[in-house]
A = this chain, B = another copy of it.
Amino acid sequence: MAKQRKTAVSPTRAENYPEWYQQVIRAANLAENSPVRGCMVINPWGYALWENIQKVLDGMIKETGHQNAYFPLFIPLSFMEKEAAHVEGFAKECAVVTHHRLESDGKGGLKPAGKLEEPLVVRPTSETIIGEMFARWIQSYRDLPLLINQWANIVRWEMRTRLFLRTTEFLWQEGHTAHATKQEALDETFLILNLYAKFAEEYMAMPVIKGEKTEGERFPGAVSTYCIEAMMQDCKALQAGTSHFLGQNFSHAANIKFLGAEGVEEFAWTTSWGVSTRLIGALIMSHGDDDGVIIPPRLAPSHVVVLPIIHKDEDRETVMTYCEQFVKDLKKVSYDDSPMRVELDTREGRGGDKMWSWIKKGIPLWVEIGPRDIANDSVFVGRRDCVDDKRINMNRSEFLKKVPSLLASIQQGLHDRALSFRESRSININSKEEFYEFFSGGDESMTGGFAWAHWADDPAAEKQIKDDLNVTVRCIPLDTQDEPGTCLFTGKPSPKRVVFAKSY
């Protein structure tokens, strides 16, 4: 029987999931709210996690032939206006620069001065400015495909913000590509969707469903939007990445034309795709427990922390020297094709407090070493994915040999646990009544799950469901077989079940 530890994060997930989320972030010191409304500060531990995400994704993006570049932070208002659906979608959340200097306000303070002729929007996404450059760069079919990625900060003015999930400023990568044919652009859209799914499952240990968005959830200006959707531990869905097939919409807006092999001028076909610091929110809510965050080993800023156990001053030197050597040996071990990332916690303070601070940070493994362990040539090992289980004594050299497989087992275990959870909260639903019941019962924050139901794309019905239950179609899955049926809400024919859920 699990007893509530005094060391646990308060509240627990069951008590108050949204507040638990804020508290585990605080306990791990991943990020915090800044004095600038809606903008977060990403603290060193959280930023190191983002750097690991970046490093892996950047490698995967380059591996598939894309190149990084950098485009301006500011977008002239007139550029935004060129694609009607696009500007409509972002108009309500644009930070606008209108002045380029400050001058005295005559009351001892300062006021904006030097009004700009044309206001500049702080990029909420870069399709329009990058499209403008693409139009300059692309002349002939020989210039295609053009495969560009950008790592950047983005601003979308949000009224209600939550750390990592929805912030006014966030960090992301945005890919932008142009192709000679529709098919090539579609292939690119799916190439990236699969790349995102692979990253989510293999690195974040987070199972995802790949699918297409309905019209109402489409990116403003896209022809079709594809996404990966994951289930959080409160049974809500979180969209973890999107890949958009833009057709020729942005090519028309920015005049991206090329001379084809046959000598005919054509508009290019474009795509865009992105993932953001939101992934960190997804990671926290996929794996965290009531003790705090759990970081999958492949992305962990540190894999192992070594905690010297010193009860008597006379032991200090022996223990510290031994631990320092052990850290050196650990750093020589290779995990995931890189040297292990190891911490030595030399802080003063109680061993238990120090251990719990690392548990709250989600470090995969911790190792305690005291005089008795040294005498026995052993180490005392704890696993973050099963804090409740007894820590195990291992022979020192056996641990050095086994640590990569221990980490691999934690990585796999987190994935499998998340997948089991999702399966346990996924259900085929065959009637509207059952559907309403599934999403209505119990505590608002912990109900429902993924409802697989037949559905014929119908914006009015979708709106009704959203108004009634705050539930939306998360996606029309790509990897399931067709299974003709009848839409629960309209009675129209449906080619396959789609995934409904509450969502972030």
Contact = CB atoms under 8 A, between A and B. Distances in A.
Contact of A96 (B35, B39, B43, B112): B112
Given A42-B70, A102-B96, A110 B91 contact: yes
B36 A120 contact: yes
A91 B71 contact: no
Contact of A69 (B47, B68, B93, B153): B47
Nearest to A119: B112
Contact of A77 (B48, B71, B110): B110
Contact of A98 (B39, B69, B98, B132): B98
Interface string A175-198: 000000000000000000000000
Interface in A185-243: none
Interface in A52-108: 67-77, 79-81, 87, 91-103
A81 to B, nearest CB: 6
Contacts of A40: 72
A329 interface: no
A91 B80 CA distance: 28
A157 B132 CA distance: 22
Contact of A47 (B36, B70, B92, B114): B70
A19 interface: no
A110 to B, nearest CB: 6
A41 interface: yes
Nearest to A347: B142
A32 to B, nearest CB: 8
Contacts of A98: 96-99, 112
A498 interface: no
A122 interface: yes
A97 B157 CA distance: 12
Given A95-B97, A112-B98, A51 B71 contact: no
A72 B43 CA distance: 12
Given A72-B34, A120-B36, A148-B44, A100 B94 contact: yes
A98 B115 CA distance: 11
A14 interface: no
B129 A36 contact: yes
A355 interface: no
A61 to B, nearest CB: 12
B157 A100 contact: yes
Contacts of A121: 102
B153 A73 contact: yes
A333 interface: no
A137 to B, nearest CB: 9
Contact of A87 (B72, B93, B100, B110): B110
B71 A41 contact: yes
A133 interface: yes
Contact of A102 (B50, B73, B94, B153): B94
A171 interface: yes
A155 interface: yes
A73 B169 contact: yes
A109 interface: yes
A95 B70 CA distance: 19
Contacts of A103: 91
Contacts of A51: 68
B47 A68 contact: yes
Contacts of A153: 73, 152-153
Given A41-B69, A69-B44, A122-B122, A110 B97 contact: no
A343 B26 CA distance: 46
Contacts of A93: 100-101
Interface of A: 34-36, 39-44, 47-48, 50-51, 67-77, 79-81, 87, 91-103, 109-112, 114, 119-122, 129, 132-133, 148, 152-153, 155, 157, 169, 171
Closest 7 pairs (CB-CB, A-B): A39-B72, A44-B67, A42-B70, A91-B102, A100-B157, A96-B112, A96-B99
Given A51-B68, A91-B101, A96-B97, 9 more contacts: A40-B72, A41-B70, A44-B148, A74-B95, A87-B102, A97-B122, A98-B112, A112-B119, A152-B153
14 contacts: A35-B76, A39-B72, A41-B71, A44-B148, A47-B67, A73-B122, A73-B155, A74-B95, A87-B102, A91-B101, A94-B101, A95-B100, A97-B98, A98-B98
